[in-house]
Amino acid sequence: MIAIIPARGGSKGLPGKNIKEMCGKPLIAYTIEAALKSKSIDHVILSTDDEEIAAVAKKYGAEVPFMRPAELASDTAMAVDNYIYTIGRLEKEWNTKIDSFVVLQPTSPLRIAEDIDGAVELFNARNADSVVTYVKEAHPIFWHKKIDENNKLEDIFEGTIANRQELPITYYPNGAVYVFSTEMIRQKKYYTDKSYAYIMPRERSIDIDFIDDFKYAEFLMSNSKDKK
């Protein structure tokens, strides 16, 4: 199976984050190395519009068979369109059919090879259309509220459940691993009735958007017993 690492150059929340140094390596290196260690991944493909990111990724072992077109790297571009383009071009250049693939965002540096393998194994075992990594909510979502322009609290969910013990356990996607069937993605869907969750621990579920996320991930990595 191939792994696509999407890493465009125009990050707004944290400029240059994909190659920003974390514990002695560029951020993207951790995702490349995890993919290369994975038993499930045969090719690690970088999708980028940025020559500097491409050069760094190649140094750490990723393949960069072509650059991403500018129209698929804008702020308004849809990720699914880039996946469709990348898979289609690989199929054409390799003269082969790609039935499924993995997406690994470089903003999840604490994800390990075993997480990738676990998600792929679940995908294959369930004959799934998609498997997405999720993490348990730390705070009950049923306590969430909307706040209007006057700071008045408004309910999102009907009814009130006061005790944490009465609340159902909920999960949210952590952005670490996606396994997709090509057929589903070409329909521009991420989920069907054959979609499943692979649960990851909170300590490996950091998704970096802003500098605070970066600093927290760096702290966790620097204190990890299993430094990469």
For residue range 13-60, list pLDDT tens digits in order. 787 899 999 999 999 999 999 999 999 999 999 999 999 999 999 999
Distant-in-sequence, close-in-space partners of 160: CB < 8 Å, separation ≥ 6: none
Tell me the percentage of the chain whose pLDDT exceeds 70: 96
Residue 227 has pLDDT above 90, yes or no: no
Confidence (pLDDT) at 160: 61
For residues 166-191, give the mean pLDDT.
94
What residue ranges do the domains of the chain occupy? 2-135+171-222
Task: Specify whether 164 is catalytic.
Answer: yes
Give the residue, 8 or 13, on which the prediction is more confident: 8
Mean pLDDT of the chain: 93
Active-site residue, selected from the candidate residues 8, 111, 164, 204: 164
Tell me the percentage of the chain whose pLDDT exceeds 90: 79
Confidence tier at 225 by pLDDT (50, 70, 90):
low
The least confident of 6-10, 81-85, 153-157, 224-228 is 224-228
User: In angstroms, rounded to a whole number, what is the distance separating the alpha carbons of residues 101 and 125?
Assistant: 15
| Stated pTM of the model | 0.91
Q: Judge contact between 85 and 151, C-beta under 8 A.
A: no
Overall fold of domain 2-135+171-222: Spore Coat Polysaccharide Biosynthesis Protein SpsA; Chain A (3.90.550)
Residue 3 has pLDDT above 80, yes or no: yes
For residue range 111-166, list pLDDT tens digits in order. 999 999 999 999 999 999 999 999 999 887 887 889 999 999 888 877 666 676 77
